[in-house]
Structure 1
C-alpha cells in the first residue's frame, strides 16, 4: 500500500494551525532553523522538504503552539501550577 502525501494540503493545514495559535510562519521557520524563503519554495512546489526537515518544522511549531496555549491559560487565570 502506498501512502500519498499532498505537500500543498500539509502546508495549508500547518499554516492554519499556526494562524489559529497566533504564530507566524516566519517564527516557526526561525525556531526550526530554516529560512522563510525555504518555506516559500515548499509552498510554491519548487522544492520539497525532506522528512527530517519537515519533522523539525512540525516539532518547532508544536512547541510554539503549546507555549502559546500556556500563555493564554495563564492570562485567563487557569495556570495549572497554581490550581488547588
Structure 2
C-alpha cells in the first residue's frame, strides 16, 4: 500500500487571472514561485515561496508539524525544527 503525500508543491497561481474560454487551453503565464497543496483537506496554501527548495522544506515541516500534533506533542512555531 502506498501512502499519499499530505503536502505537495505546486506552481503558484498568477496574480491576475486570464479571462479566456476554456477551449483556448492552459494559461500563458504561471505565477512566480511555488505554493503548497494539502491533499487531505483539498486546499491550496498560497504561501508564494520563491524557490522549489524552500517549498519542499516547508512541505516537510508541515508534515512534521501534523505528525507531532497527532502524537500530542506541542511545538512552538518560533522554535527551530531540527
TM-score by length of 2: 0.36
Give the structure with the higher percent strand. 2
TM-score by length of 1: 0.35
